[in-house]
Amino acid sequence: MIEETTAEEEKPKRKDIIGIIIKVLIYSIILSVISVAAYFGFKYYKSTGEKYSEKTLINVKSNESKLKFSFDNLRKVYKGIIKIDKEIVLIDEEIERINKIETDYPNQKKITAAEKKIWKKVKKKLIKVLAKVEQTLEIIFVTYKVNPEKGMKIINKNNGNLENMINEVLVFSNEQTATLKLNKEQTFFEKIKNIF
């Protein structure tokens, strides 16, 4: 009889251990699901938690209400407009730098003229695409103001085309301005280096 009680006592211990293991696994799964949900929830909040703020865009003719509209409904187009404006400003700065060199070395106008021609070509292409995007944006904006349902259809129809136009011109421009950006970064680091 002593042997029977020990065997019977072992069975509840095994059941208790298995029950504890199952509970730990279930709690681990629940915590994992909660953690994953929290991560994606935060990521979603972070991506949609972005708020519109007015920016000074030198080359953009659209007013704030159209820009806010693009921010709210065509976020990638809005960001593309900002990038195009930054590219144009960068090119203007480069042309101004070349003009200063030209005034210092007037006998070397062939060199500076050739370089300015390249930059003006890139700038012209950026301005042309920016004007087309702004024109389309205005049509979408007014249509949406008049008839929101029809405006949403136009947004869905034109969104991809606008994004593609912006991306293509930015790829073209970035090929040219990459060295300018690199030089700007280097001069910034050189300034920090000179401080120490």
Q: What is the pLDDT of residues 39-80, one digit of tens each?
A: 777 666 555 567 877 788 888 888 889 999 999 999 999 999
Q: What is the pLDDT of residues 150-172, one digit of tens each?
A: 999 999 998 899 999 999 999 99
**Confidence (pTM):** 0.68
The 10 Å CB-count burial string (b at 16+, else e) for 120-153 is eebbeebeebbeebbebbeebbebbeeeeeebee
Which residues neighbour 156 within 8 Å (Cβ) at sequence distance 6 or greater? none
* Annotated domain spans of the chain: 1-49, 64-195
Please provide residue 19's backbone torsions phi and psi, each rounded to the nearest 5 degrees.
-60, -40
